[in-house]
Structure 1
Amino acid sequence: MSFLSKQWEGVWSLSPVLVFDESRKIDDDDVALYELVNQHRNFINILQRYLEFREKDKTTQVLDKFRLRMTRYLDRDSGIVNKWLSFACERSVKEVDLSLEIAWNKQLEFYYCLSPISLLNANSALSVLIWECPSIEFLSLNTCSFEDSAFRVSSSNLKSLEITHCDARYIRVDKAVNLEYFTFSSEFWVQNMTLNASFNLKYISIHARGLRNLSLQGCHHSAKANIHTPGLLLFDFHGFLKSKLSLEAPYLRTAIIALSDIYDGESHYFSELRDFLKAFDGIDQINLHVCDFKGLIFPENFRETFSSPLTSLKYFGVYMSNSPTKAKDYSEIKASMTWMAPSATRFWYPWPRLPLI
């Protein structure tokens, strides 16, 4: 249409869905290098040309989807990528699909850096966009790194978050109240991870060899978590007894556990509580936070029937909202703690050192 009339030139760029895909031929290895360079240069020219067309449009039309797939990415291409991402954010883009691959020398490593000039008119980076954007529902990040070594997200509409092969020392998901699925898998040296106040979080999958500290502070009452963290040293869990935790952490030393559904008179909790605690047997220290100390008083016949859940624990601390005042309650809580961790040094405090959910 552009050949027929200049009036049509660039009209397609006003579409609410923009897809730029630099195709790669199957026989790329047989194509001369100069030809590949020319093809890539032409693709970059297309990106620059139609960005100019789109920027001339003075309307505030919302962009539904922006996809950029580059299969011959070079370091110098970061400028046009930044401009398109910035433009997409100005148009309140609903879906972004960004894939930058290298096809030249496999020994070269060109990374696209998510720098503070990447998005939102050079005022913030991707982390800030995701932290503040209320529209994102499904987010998948694959093979990326972060300039400040930290990735943070807080989005009220976010339902699914998947992070794979990303280089960040710290991952934090905060107050994603509608988040249901969280997946993290990376061989990079991620040291700290926090999932905070995501009370609808139901499915958690974490595979991180180098992770040292993991904090799950608030999740769905029946959350299922599959956690494979060979290097984990500290695990902080604030949630519910009905949560199903599959934890593979052979070097785990300390667990902080706050349970919000342990109350007096709920006898059906005893088997669940024993099984829950047994998953942490073998570590050095557990700090357990409960609302009512009576929820930890296992009946005598139960203690005589079932074995202790924490046979090798060294230090066992219980923090509770109330404290036994009667001699009978004092004796029963002491007997229960002795049964739960027979080899541990035991102590309790009549107030929670950590805020209960």
Structure 2
Amino acid sequence: MGAKATVLVADADVAKDIQIKDFHNFTDRANLKLKGGPFGDSRFDESFLILRGKRWKKVRSVSTPTFSASKLKTMTPIIDDAFKNFIHIIDKRSKTGHEFDIYGNENEVQINAQNKDTNDLKDSKQHKNEISLTDSEVLANSTTLYLAGYETTSTALGYMSHIFVKYPDIQERVRQEVQKLQESDGILDYNTVQKLDFMDCVLKETFRFYSPIVTFVARECHEDYKLNDTIVIPKGSSVVVDVHYLHYSPDYCCEPEVFDPMRFSADRKHEIYPNSWQPFGSGPRNCIGMRFALLVVKLSLVKLLLNYRLISGAKTETANFSLTTTIFTQSPSNGIFLKVAQL
């Protein structure tokens, strides 16, 4: 049959057409056969990551309410509880004064919270008058949510820890924002953490620098597609959006090599070119757990910054921070070593 054509997209407007405007012609992910790792198992063929067409739409529609605002609000105490074990580990580390790999330990935070996600998905079988999932679909997708969320949130927390060590002034400003909010609002929960504007800016800029989920987005073209009335993308072709390029292109981001959280502030966010920032993808097939991941990261950082200061150690990589890129994610190659000091 010959090789399949692949079109590389490094233009935010074209990416928007493919991911949003003309999504009906690019509904399916490119047929990437995953070898090795958990998602290479045939049992994941019914995962929303792999499914196509109407079956993907069904599973996505049933899974999406798991991450609604009302569900996320109920997860706050669960996330707090999951964080206790992590704080216990950090507390012991702070007393020794030794540096350690915080990236490895952060995996403790989200395990219990994600169990809540998977249980909510299993509950979909009990709604007899609504669209529900089969046993195999529940198994594939609850496990997908668990594994994908496990990696994503720990990586995101790791990147934030790295940024706080590299830029202690930013760490201190976020801490002061959290302390001020605690003084005014008391309990820091789902609703109150939405007021942490500067933390949100730092998160978004961190995700521009180090995308926790996707470095590219791949879609399959269902029918011949004319691009800008000149180029035809053949039916069956793979279309790959280069997310890393969009995040670092001076066409879309002023001084992209400079870490500047304020580019996402209310006064300047209009400078962000539409659809150029997409660490969680874009359009109907974006990351289903994006809001959950952001909530876990924010609540975790609140607890961490109110109790500890993150500082560099002998093994801390600041100038040359190396990353390992896989088909879905990129993660720290050598961990994230630092020290913690109690406040």
TM-score, normalized by length of structure 2? 0.19
Higher strand content, 1 or 2: 1
Greater Rg by CA: 1
